[in-house]
Structure 1
Amino acid sequence: MRTDRLVAILLLLQRREQVTAAEVARELEVSERTARRDLDALAMAGVPVYSMQGRSGGWRLVGGARTDLSGLTASEARALFLVASPASAATPTVKAALRKLVHALPEPFRVQAEAAASSLVMDPQRWGSSRIEHRPPRFLDELQDAVIRGVQVRLGYVDREGTETERTVHPLGIVAKGPTWYLVANADAGRRTFRIDRVSSVEPTDDPVHRPEGFDLAESWREIADEVGRRRTPLEVQAVCTPEGIGKLRMGLGDRLEVGGSTSDGRIEVVIRGYNEYALAGELAGLVEWLEVTGPPGVRHHLTLIANALIERYG
């Protein structure tokens, strides 16, 4: 993330004659102390920046607030456009400035730079109660590099049963689903997703990836996530909820909740997905203060049984 910020600060300095630490902090959503430390780091790294003291002071680039980016290497150009990607934490203004730089890049770098900008999707919603991973998986960098360079890889993979296989795949993109990272790739059996923490080996080849015409990683991931969600939670429950209860439902159900329109009595129609009727009834029983389940009948029946058991136990 610090490398991303340093590149973003350099672009801010190019767009403006002068910036203050407070302006950098607001633009990049960091503290002023962090902004000043990053500006100092640019100067120490040899970037021609200097500070001016006083009421009208700030930071400037030597040479009329411009610096030469023609010396970028291919890997540096890719890194630059990762900052400009939809998944980046940079603000929209910074992303727009970064994307404009692609037109000034040497021709050999443009394809990979543009590929970098579309190689990653961030999906913040976790599936279920998946374990939080504190570190990026081992082969994340190698796989993203293969996506950007557009080369096939021989992939070693361990499935959920512990069986290890090896196959050649066409990497199409990387997705972070909550704390878990996935590779989206084409294989002999069609488009597949691979959990990157289950990848046991990665060996890039010299063979180019066959990328489907018009492929869009974000759209493809939405289709994959919807299909996985339907398989994990095949049951749909219809209900109405009071407006003040919607926040409680969102907190407890996450992306298993679909909010609809208002009813004539001011409540809100919702659809809730779950694994089976008994489990979902148990989950919703604690929300009866705000929620009324209207179907299917089996879930209402289980709720009645739960209510009777609670009355019998607690009077």
Structure 2
Amino acid sequence: MRADRLLQILLLLQNRGRLTAPQLAAELEVSVRTVYRDVEALAASGVPVVADRGPSGGYRLLDGYRTRLTGLTGEEAESLSLAGMPSAAAELGLGSDLAAARLKLQAALPAELSARVLRVQERFHLDAPAWFRDAEPVPHLALVAAAVWEGRRLRVHYRSWRGEARRELDPLGLVLKGGIWYLVAAAGGEVRTYRVSRLLGAEALDEAAERPAGFDLAAHWAESARRLESARYRAEARLRLTPRGTMLLPLQFGAVGARALAAAGPPDREGRVEVTLPVESTALAVTDLLRLGTEAEVLGPPELRAALAATVTALAARYGPTG
């Protein structure tokens, strides 16, 4: 709405000082011509907007002028919980609300504190998604988020590794982990986790969702993550690493590799160390350990060593000299 945009221009000028028409247009995602019209409307309503000419010119408010129109709407107040994650707010449909809320909060601060907030925004940025992975399409995220907030039951069409299924869920919360959205919901008397990108369809029902008494989303997620990790790593691999291998291990295996290194003993005369690395299974460990190349030697268990030797032998036969 134009009234909201006029207020945003006013707050931008109050918070940041002089801004050019192209800068305002970029902030508001409108044309420069629209900015010209909006600034004229502000001036006509009595707001002392000053237009400075020249290469370093732009629009600014008359010195000493400050607006008190900083009240937050309900949507803007809700969006503040995602203030450190603008991309997540945008995916939930709260991007514009978050931008407006931040402007209003900054306008309400004393000049010194406002300058400190702006400095933090200029120098720190949170980018939640992992490297080298495109963002997953989540076409049903906004509907799911609304059902979570309003406490309404969901009917979903879901695709898992077992196949496709249709079921009704009592949504309990949304979690953003590594750039991936997960829905925590009750189904059949159990609390389960669903990857939102795997929803093929979703419909919010008129029925109220049943929420377990005292349910704590953060505590449930922490416990689920702990159980998942303990169930995931069912075996161990004993490795001897070269100095370069010790650098590669945490890069290839993340926190699990870093913990294995931290628990390792001192290096031998050649700088090699022995580590015990948790692995999911023999088959998966063979694939993962091949990434370390000759910088790691598998000492055990015997079945993993034999499986790796068989794989390397097969690769050598395939890529060895012919004829």
| TM-score interval (norm. to shorter) | 0.5 to 0.7
Structure 1: runs of 5 or more not aligned: 1-6, 22-33, 105-121
What does residue range 267-286 of structure 1 map to in structure 2 within 5 Å? 272-286=277-291
Query: How far apart, CA to CA, are the structure 1 residues paired with 2:140 and 2:226?
Result: 26
After superposition, the Cα gap between the structure-2 partners of 1:306 and 1:139, relative to the gap in structure 1 and judged at 3 Å, is closer
**Which residue is equivalent to 2:266?**
264
Query: How far apart, CA to CA, are the structure 2 residues paired with 1:57 and 1:253?
Result: 53
After superposition, the Cα gap between the structure-2 partners of 1:223 and 1:20, relative to the gap in structure 1 and judged at 3 Å, is farther
Q: Is the 8 A contact 1:153 1:170 kept in 2?
A: yes
Query: How far apart, CA to CA, are the structure 1 residues paired with 2:81 and 2:59?
Result: 24
The structure number with the bigger radius of gyration is 2
**Which residue is equivalent to 2:155?**
155
Query: How far apart, CA to CA, are the structure 1 residues paired with 2:166 and 2:181?
Result: 19
**Which residue is equivalent to 1:145?**
146
1:242-268 CA-partner distances (Å, limit 9, x unpaired): 453355444544566343325322556
**Which residue is equivalent to 1:203?**
204
Identity %: 27
CA-based RMSD: 4.9
1:36 Cα offset (Å): 6.1
After superposition, the Cα gap between the structure-2 partners of 1:303 and 1:204, relative to the gap in structure 1 and judged at 3 Å, is same
1:236 aligns with 2:224: no
- Secondary structure at 1:257's aligned position in 2? helix
- State TM-score, norm by structure 2: 0.58
After superposition, the Cα gap between the structure-2 partners of 1:274 and 1:292, relative to the gap in structure 1 and judged at 3 Å, is same
**Which residue is equivalent to 2:186?**
186
1:183 Cα offset (Å): 0.7
Q: Which amino acid aligns with 1:192?
A: R
**Which residue is equivalent to 1:38?**
26
- Secondary structure at 1:283's aligned position in 2? helix
Query: How far apart, CA to CA, are the structure 1 residues paired with 2:292 and 2:239?
Result: 11
- Greater helix percent: which structure? 2
What does residue range 1-315 of structure 1 map to in structure 2 within 5 Å? 16=15, 18=17, 37-39=25-27, 41=29, 44=34, 52=52, 60=60, 64-66=65-67, 68-70=69-71, 72-84=72-84, 98=102, 101=105, 124=129, 136-147=137-148, 149-160=149-160, 161-178=162-179, 180-199=180-199, 200-205=201-206, 207=208, 210=211, 213=214, 215-217=216-218, 219-246=219-246, 248-254=248-254, 257-259=257-259, 260-261=261-262, 263-265=265-267, 272-306=277-311, 314=320
Query: How far apart, CA to CA, are the structure 1 residues paired with 2:192 and 2:301?
Result: 33
Q: Which amino acid aligns with 1:182?
A: Y
Q: Is the 8 A contact 2:240 2:298 kept in 1?
A: yes
- Secondary structure at 1:68's aligned position in 2? coil
Query: How far apart, CA to CA, are the structure 2 residues paired with 1:173 and 1:264?
Result: 44
Q: Is the 8 A contact 2:144 2:202 kept in 1?
A: no
After superposition, the Cα gap between the structure-2 partners of 1:301 and 1:245, relative to the gap in structure 1 and judged at 3 Å, is same
Q: Is the 8 A contact 1:151 1:207 kept in 2?
A: yes
After superposition, the Cα gap between the structure-2 partners of 1:99 and 1:249, relative to the gap in structure 1 and judged at 3 Å, is farther
Structure 2: runs of 5 or more not aligned: 1-6, 43-48, 91-97, 109-126
1:193 Cα offset (Å): 0.8
Q: Which amino acid aligns with 1:139?
A: H
Q: Is the 8 A contact 2:152 2:170 kept in 1?
A: yes
Q: Which amino acid aligns with 1:264?
A: P
**Which residue is equivalent to 1:115?**
none
Q: Which amino acid aligns with 2:236?
A: E
After superposition, the Cα gap between the structure-2 partners of 1:208 and 1:51, relative to the gap in structure 1 and judged at 3 Å, is farther
